[in-house]
Amino acid sequence: MTERAPVHLSADSEEMEISFGPQHPATHGVLRVMVKIDGERIVETKPVIGYLHRGTEKIFERETYNGCIPHTDRMDYTAAATNNQGLVGAVEKMMGITIPPRAAYIRMMLAELQRIASHTIWLGTHALDIGAQSPFFYTFEEREKILDLYEEYCGARLTLNAMRVGGQPFDLPSGWTDRCRAFIDQLPAKIADWERLLTKNRIWKLRTVGIGVMSGADAIEWGLTGPPLRGSGVKWDVRKVFPYDHYEEMEFDIPIGTNGDTYDRYLVRMEEMRQSVRIVRQCLDRLPDGPVMAKVPKVIKPPKGEVYFSVEGPKGELGYYVVSDGTDKPYRLHVRPACFINLQALPELVRGHLVADLIAVIGTLDIVLGEIDR
Amino acid sequence: MTTPWMTYLLIPLIKIVVILVVLILLAAYLSWFERRILAFMQIRIGPNRVWPKGWLQAIADALKLFSKEDVIPARAEKLVFLLGPVLATAPALIVFSVIPFGPSDLLRLTDVNIGILFILGVASVGIYGIILGGWASNNKFSLMGGLRSAAQLISYEVPMGFAVVTVVLMANSLSLVKIVEAQKAQHVWFAFPGWLAIPGLIAFFIYFICGVAETNRNPFDLPEAESELVAGFHTEYSGMKFAFYFLAEYANMVVIASIATVLFLGGWLRPFPNVAALAFLDVIPPIVWFFAKVAVFLFVYIWFRGTFPRYRFDQLMALGWKVFIPVSLINLMAVGLGILLLGGPR
């Protein structure tokens, strides 16, 4: 008879340590959370990361600038377009390239569609974690349509590699704008459908209102960006404060929450999808003609120096810090990942909550391990 | 012609075999229906491959589970680990011995005069299967799943019992057959009985919600909450032992639906047994009515699963203790008082 391992339940202590993940169904990939619980109440949490580390930043150093772009696809693999956008933007800033307006508009459309696609994954999995199965399938249906649009544009659905330093590699295929418009036109009704399942649902509110609360000041202290920051009531969006591409020409609102809880972050993201629809529609309406690629040298060699450039990704601020030594490869390329920094707040957000809330909070932070570990 | 041997051994044995086979098939096919219905709700297709049109999927699943390697974790408490699935499944099947499917003696195994008591007692044993299975697995997730379900089942057994007692007061009997016959005599279903309409409906509603909780179904599926506890108490179970837990869950769904049908929806009676104009509905045999009502219940179960998020553990307990128990208790007293003052529906 083999010895029974102690289940860490002794008379004087009710605390038990559980390892959630890295292969747990609700940790969104390979996040591992060491949780110390007292009954069902969380005493302490410690995220353990690194299971998806691929040394992306080191790989950057041996690639040409355009060669780095496919590697950015694989960081936040649910938002390849915005990852591309950040890197090419940084290199263009460094070299002082102004991309043609048509290219900028195409970039904005791809990025906003990506934001919608990323938020659909978030909503589906978040709802699934909280026990509502069906939204997952409804949101994935819409995401598929976005991926179809991507496939038509650049041939890839997930790892797009859809931008280049100096503009866009391809013009839009004929008929793409019509299909994109058709998709955009039907989407708000679908978003309303999803909201009908959840927004006023009693159980959904019980599970999300007042869970994982963070004040605006705390959120800034923790360095949160994106929906977690805006959910806490801080009006901060890179697209507005440091506009890139042509976002300054676009009309859109920044939704913010009031309580900084999981429910507010949910509402913020739902509204962001609608705002993204607005932006894509404006892009389609005003899409200028012209070339999609600026005149850039065959070999991209930024001048010696360093630059930081960030975009508003679906998860938060995605920044690229590029150090160039004047050669065709970056000397150092550091990424400021949104998910990694948002995840830091996890122990703070779940302290004192129940185990079930841990899952809700992991869902509401909308992390992608590919970006956390890189 | 009828020897004691036949009356007391042969016929009951045949009935037992028939009921068991039907129930197990029903539970197996319920899983298939669930997958199909959920799939249609979720813009998917669901299992449609196993010939013909996926109808044999349930059988194929059973065969697959039979042929799986039977894993017992090295550090599990072996005997208890083996006992778990048995303790979970057997009560669900035993309950069916007292459920009347139709008016004739042929359509039930037996009519016990304390049928309801028997059901409540036997069904409670099922908890042991879950908590022992969860504990014996020697896995923290299983343990938490087992503890959760023990707390949940015990809390929800109480309001459920009160709801059932309401019916007992109305029918003045503990025998399931008598209860259906009382509904026939009073020309009503107990969910909508004459002057007792509101308490009857409340009792019905509470019974049904507690039934969902008792069977660990969404939105009360905490013991096996996948996103939190992996698979809850049956995380470590595989192959046939998992199949038994699975069978127990679905058999319990059928049990809860059958009891609800008998107690509240007039068992095998047609709708509106008091309206003579609907007498033509009697063409449909009683057993069909019975199973049609059960099917409606089961559909609602699946519908729940397609719609609701999951309660949190403390919210679930609060709902049970702070809402259902007081409401069902007051409801029960109101019915008792009503019967005392107004004269019950005898």
Q: Select the residue of A7, A128, A130 nearest B140 (Cβ to Cβ).
A: A7
Which chain B residue lies closest to A28 (C-alpha atoms)? B227
Looking at residues A320-349, what average pLDDT do you find?
Answer: 89
A296 touching B (Cβ < 8 Å): no
Which of B138, B140, B226 minimises the CB distance to A4?
A: B138
Question: Among partner residues A2, A134, A201, which is closest to B42 by beta-carbon distance?
Answer: A134
Class of residue B255 by CB neighbours under 10 A (exposed 0-12, middle 13-18, buried 19+): buried
- Closest by Cα among A97, A71, A86 to A160: A71
What tens digit of pLDDT does each residue of A175-211 get?
899 999 999 999 999 999 888 888 888 888 888 888 8
pTM assigned to the model: 0.83
Structure confidence by residue, pLDDT tens digits, B65-93: 888 888 888 877 788 888 888 888 888 88
Could you tell me the residue ranges of all domains in chain B? 1-67, 73-342
Asked if B190 is an interface residue toward chain A (Cβ–Cβ < 8 A), one would say: no
Q: Which of B227, B313, B314 sits opposite A128 (nearest CB)?
A: B227
Chain A CA closest to residue B219: A131
Residues A355, A358, A364: CA angle, nearest 5 degrees = 150
pLDDT tens digits, B221-271: 766 666 667 667 777 787 788 888 888 888 888 888 888 888 888 777 777
Chain B residue with minimal CA distance to A8? B140
Tens digits of residue pLDDT in A217-234: 888 988 889 899 998 888
Nearest CA to A60 among A76, A50, A75, A80? A75
The complex's ipTM? Answer: 0.77
Note whether B312 contacts A356, CB cutoff 8 Å.
yes
Query: A233-267: string of b/e by CB count within 10 Å (b at 16+)?
Result: bbebbbbeeeebbbbeebebebbbbebbbbbbbbb
By the CB < 8 Å criterion, does A193 face chain B?
no
A16 and B140 within 8 Å at the Cβ level: the answer is yes
* Secondary-structure breakdown of chain B: helix, strand, coil percentages, each rounded to the nearest 5: 75, 0, 25
Range from A77-86, A206-215, B43-52, B266-275 carrying the lowest mean pLDDT: B266-275
Interface of B with A in 262-321 (CB under 8 A): 305-315
Nearest CA in chain B to A208: B312
**pLDDT for residue A144 is more than 70:** yes
The whole-number average pLDDT for the span B173-181 is: 78
Is A198 an 8 Å CB contact of chain B? yes
